[in-house]
Amino acid sequence: MPQRPLFPEKPGLQVAICEFDEMNLQIGERIELERIDSADKTRYFTSLIGYLRNQSLLVKTPIVDGLPLPIADEALMAVRVFSGTKAFAFIVPVIRVCISPAHYLHLAFPSTIQCAEIRKALRVSLRLAARAKAANAQALPQGVEITDLSISGAHVESDKMLGQKGQHLQLSFAFRINPNDYEAHLNLKARIQSVEHHTPAREGSAVYVHGVEFEGLGSAEMILLQSYIYQLLIAEHHRIV
């Protein structure tokens, strides 16, 4: 089976070869499929029906505009899975396209599986609404936007300066985690590491960009952040900065 890098080569992204059992696949697990022997590079999401060890994986055929995605036998698929705090990827052919009793695909059992470990340095770009306030201030929190995120910190944009370098903030934000669409809410203490005033080249308001480092993360908060970052990594590789 042809192999190729399935994760981008970026600092902070550690890729290794993993065993099948490390994926801890569960029925209903969200699966991403990408046809790699076609001009169509769209990533389609579906779910796992089950698997026969060393024989095949069974996944639902992705539905597009109410119809099953046209896929031929022997088509090569890049498969990506998010599990716990790791991202997994492998390339397999479609053994059989089935339409009865439901639309599903038999994929070959993977022989080589790549997995990605995220280190603290890895950042993903995003636009995530948040609330921030000085840690010891009585003022109400103000709306801000997180423009990139890592396990250790973030860049935060606001129309007002949130504080000086070395001062602390409380940063609150929420995001959803697959496969159960769980909504996580975090309220983190952060130290301001840098402040820059950016004036847009075109029309628009100037903003303050704050580089912040998270402090005192608990294990549950760390796992939620890791899970969200891995989820973004699987869905859209270009987010890595």
Which residues belong to CATH 2.40.10.220 in the chain?
124-239
Q: Residue 67: beta bridge partners?
A: 64
Cα separation, 78 vs 72, in Å, equals 15
pLDDT computed for residue 4 by the predictor? 59
Map 159-189 to HEC letters: CCCCCCCCCEEEEEEEEEECCCCEEEEEEEE
What does the pLDDT look like over 48-63, one tens digit per residue?
999 999 999 999 999 8
Positions in the chain short of pLDDT 50: 2
Cα separation, 164 vs 6, in Å, equals 41
Q: Are 211 and 193 in contact (CB under 8 A)?
A: yes
Q: Which residues contact 50 (CB under 8 A, 6 or more apart)?
A: 27, 57, 58
Q: What is the CATH number of domain 13-118?
A: 2.30.110.10
What does the pLDDT look like over 24-54, one tens digit per residue?
888 988 788 888 887 777 778 888 999 999 9
Q: Residue 191: beta bridge partners?
A: 168, 213
pLDDT computed for residue 2 by the predictor? 45
Q: What is the pTM of this model?
A: 0.61
Which residues belong to CATH 2.30.110.10 in the chain?
13-118
* Residue 180 structure tokens: 């159960």
pLDDT computed for residue 122 by the predictor? 72
pLDDT computed for residue 205 by the predictor? 76
Q: Are 91 and 111 in contact (CB under 8 A)?
A: no
Question: 124-239: CATH homologous superfamily?
Answer: predicted glycosyltransferase like domains (2.40.10.220)
* Mean predicted lDDT score pLDDT of the chain: 85
Angle at Cα 165 formed by Cα 150 and Cα 200, nearest 5°?
Answer: 75
